Each structure stands twice: as structure tokens, then as C-alpha cells.
Amino acid sequence: MAGLATVYPMSEARIEANPDVGALYDINGLAKGAPNWLDRTVEFIGEYGIVLGFGILMLFAWWSVRKREDAPAGVAALLWAPLAAGIALLVNIPIRGFVKRPRPFLDHQGLDVLVKGKTDFSFVSDHATLTMAIAVALFLAHRRFGLIGIGLALLEGFSRVYLGVHYPTDVIGGLALGTAVALLLAPLAMMLLTPLAKAVAATRASWLVGARRRVRPVVAAAGAGRDVTGQSRQHRNNDLAA
């Protein structure tokens, strides 16, 4: 961190004494030397892009799980993903009101704030909470897509610090909160949502829960030594010999 005292009004000693603030300056400092198009790209990704990406990821996961034998359970887990995100955001409301942590740019000058108009409290990050809750619930439904989702949630958290609107600990708290809600309430959610998915599977909307499978007709042989016409091989051989 050599030279930080000449770049930022905050002393180097104070930054080193607070790793959270030091990491904030280090990550947000990347924006200072980045071209404008990169800043605008990260701004779009951090505000809207990753959330839209999760929507697309959920569609791919739904298309995949509905082809499995346990499709109702998989679809129920996917239904839990947005519900987990909503519950996690509701849980965050009293946490924010209790902690009342100001946004970092209100207490620390010299930050390159790329998103304006953020006036609410900083801890914990709503974006990090929402994306990790969806990612963990998605992992319960489909591991491969869930791992991609977890990667997107981590990228979301990084972008919030890069944009100068959150401390790193705001992001860590959001990732932890989203994970806790998605995992701890998953058994109860699956107990309620799986019967619902199975009920839908028995209606005309069954395609939402499971792909229709084409069943090949199978004709069982009437007895040993008989072909599908019911004629014994021995009788057919006698006819040929005659």
C-alpha cells in the first residue's frame, strides 16, 4: 500500500489498521486507472447484468431438471430459489436498521463512486444477499448450474466494492446471509413445494414440471418360444418343412 497516503486523504496508517477499508481502497482503486467503457460495463453488470444472467441460468436449469426422473423435486428446488432471495432480503431489512452503517463514500473521500444516488445503509449488501440466495438454492436443484450461479454471486460482490458503494464486509455479510437462508429453510421449503410440483404434474400444465416422455408399446410374448405374433417357432418350422 505504498503511496496510498499521497493518493487518498486517509492516512496509510489508518488504512492498514482497518483491512476492510484497505481492501475497499484497493479494489475501488482499480476503477481509477480503468478506461471509461470498462467502468460502464462493470456498472451495468453490477446493477442489472448479473441479475438478468440469473434469470437466464434459471431457465436453462429448469429445462434440464424437468427431463430427470425426479423432475418434481428439481422444479420445487428451483421454485425455492427466488423465494429464498425474497426472504433473505426481508431478513436484511432489520439487520440494516440495527447496524446503520453508512455507505463507504460518506465516510471515506477519494473513492471513485460509479453508481450515484445510494442513500440507504450499507450493511449488508442486498445484491450480494439476493444473488447468493438464488445461487445456493439453484445448487440444490442442479449442481453444475448452481456452481455457475455461485461464481456469478461472487462476481456481483466484487462489483459492488469496485463501484464504491459497499465495503468488502458488506458483501461478505450478504453472501453469508443469502447462503444461510437458502440452506436453513430449504428442508421446510422442499416439504411444501414438492407436493405442489407433483400436483401440477398431474394437470394439463404437467409440461412445467416434467417433459413428456414417449412410451414405446411393448408386446409381451405369450409364452416361452413364441414370437410377437403368438406363433410358436416350432410350429412355424413344421410349416416350412411341409
Assigned domain for 241 exists: no
**How many structural domains is the chain composed of?**
1
CA 36 to chain centre: 29
Residue 242's pLDDT is what?
46
Assigned domain for 144 exists: yes
Q: What Å distances lie between residue 126 and 5, 42, 90, 92, 176, CA to CA?
A: 31, 17, 10, 8, 12
43 burial level (CB within 10 Å; 0-12, 13-18, 19+): middle
Q: What is the residue type of 98? A: F
Assigned domain for 59 exists: yes
Assigned domain for 217 exists: no
Residue 139's pLDDT is what?
94
Mean pLDDT of successive 10-residue stretches along the chain, which has 242 residues: 41 62 88 86 89 92 84 89 95 93 86 82 93 95 93 94 92 96 95 88 77 50 45 50 47
Assigned domain for 202 exists: yes
CA 74 to chain centre: 15
Assigned domain for 223 exists: no
Assigned domain for 104 exists: yes
Cα–Cα distance between 199 and 191 in angstroms, integer?
A: 13
pTM of structure: 0.78
Residue 128's pLDDT is what?
95
Residue 144's pLDDT is what?
92
Give the CATH number, domain containing residue 98.
1.20.144
3-class DSSP state for residue 226?
A: strand
Domain limits at 151? 20-208
Assigned domain for 10 exists: no
